[in-house]
Amino acid sequence: MARLPFARAGRAAGPLRGDSMAAALFALPLLLVFGLFAWWPMVRGLILSFQRTNFVQAAEWVGFDNFERVLNDPLLWTAVGNTAWFVLLALVVGFPVPLFLAIFIGELKKGRVLFTMLAYLPVILPPVVAILLWRLFYSPEADGLFNTVAGWVGLGPYGWLQDPGWAMPSIVLHVTWAQFGTATVIYLAALASLRSELYEAAEVDGAPVWRRVWHITLPQLRGVVLIMLLLQIVGTFQLFTEPFLMTGGGPENATTTLLLLIYNYAFRSGDYGAAAALSLLLALALSLLSAGYLRATRSWSTT
């Protein structure tokens, strides 16, 4: 008789095992598709970084020669410097914009939906179309859109994308405009989950808006802000479309980024092994950066 509870438990475990098997079978196609289109390209890229191939002839195993070639390429350090410059400008110029815009929209009594739609509008536009429009706006002629606006205050005309000093800031301005809508919506969603009683108490005490933002909003958004900062850093290191379509990496390689250099290795030089090697180095650098960032900010995001 003492074994009956164990027998009942054993019989009860049967359906659970059956449910687990059914769940595994349902998940199997998803895992296969994810493995085929996500993990296998990573493994294939890792293998390719140690090979020399043009995808027509048989691949030749070259060991670390691809990494040596990439690291000895003078253009690599130009691309690293350009990418770091873009990341810095994007953080200083672009990162605060969606945060403060979301706070502004959150403080509005009316028109929140309208301003949210206007903020998200650039994201809806096809990226290539938006980039080509901005390239037209950046015309170096005096009657170009941005030069016309600058002329209203007695400035310009500027070369914009044709000037090595202005090319990267011009790309940063476009990227900020094109991408701040998504971050704004995320911040608005985070603001909706904040404790409203703190704002009510602050209003009763007569606290101005900037004090409410500094002492209530920002401390409660700290975890979201830190995650968004990491995502922006990782995303900006992978800049490709804008310099590819706007400048082609010029002028004078002033906008040649790491991903654009990877593209040039693969599709202009036909050196797919070097492209894979640089891709792997970039992935390792971003992994180490992300791990160090999460470790350094762990206590900030939980306090």
Read off the pLDDT of each residue in 114-141 and give the average, rounded to a whole number: 92
Domain span at residue 184 reads 69-302
pLDDT over 90 percentage in the chain? 51
pLDDT over 70 percentage in the chain? 93
Domain count, the chain: 1
Read off the pLDDT of each residue in 249-264 and give the average, rounded to a whole number: 94
Structural domain contains residue 111 = yes
DSSP letter for each residue of the chain: -TTHHHHHHHHHHHHHHHHHHHHHHHHHHHHHHHIIIIIHHHHHHHHHTTEE--SSSPPEE-TTHHHHHHHT-HHHHHHHHHHHHHHHHIIIIISHHHHHHHHHHHH-SS-HHHHHHHHHHHHHS-HHHHHHHHHHHT-SSTTSHHHHHHHHTT-----GGGSHHHHHHHHHHHHHHHHHHHHHHHHHHHHHTS-HHHHHHHHHTT--HHHHIIIIIHHHTHHHHHHHHHHHHHHHTT--HHHHHHTTT-STTTT--HHHHHHIIIIIS--HHHHHHHHHHHHHHHHHHHHHHHHHTHHHHH-
pLDDT over threshold 70, residue 5: no
Structural domain contains residue 63 = no
Average the pLDDT over each of 24-33, 166-175, 247-256 and give the range with the smallest value: 24-33
Structural domain contains residue 207 = yes
Mean pLDDT of the chain: 86
Res 239: pLDDT: 92
Res 9: pLDDT: 47
Structural domain contains residue 64 = no
Rounded to the nearest angstrom, the gap between the alpha carbon of residue 3 and the centroid of all alpha carbons in its chain is 59
Res 53: pLDDT: 83
| Band (108; pLDDT cuts 50, 70, 90) | confident
| Band (6; pLDDT cuts 50, 70, 90) | very low
User: Which tens digits make up the pLDDT trace of 201-211?
Assistant: 777 777 777 77
* CATH number, domain with residue 179: 1.10.3720.10
Structural domain contains residue 46 = no
CA-based max dimension of the chain: 97
Read off the pLDDT of each residue in 133-141 and give the average, rounded to a whole number: 92
pLDDT over threshold 80, residue 300: no
Whole-model pTM? 0.84
User: Which tens digits make up the pLDDT trace of 269-295?
Assistant: 888 999 999 999 999 999 999 999 988
Structural domain contains residue 92 = yes
Structural domain contains residue 106 = yes
pLDDT over threshold 80, residue 2: no
Structural domain contains residue 55 = no
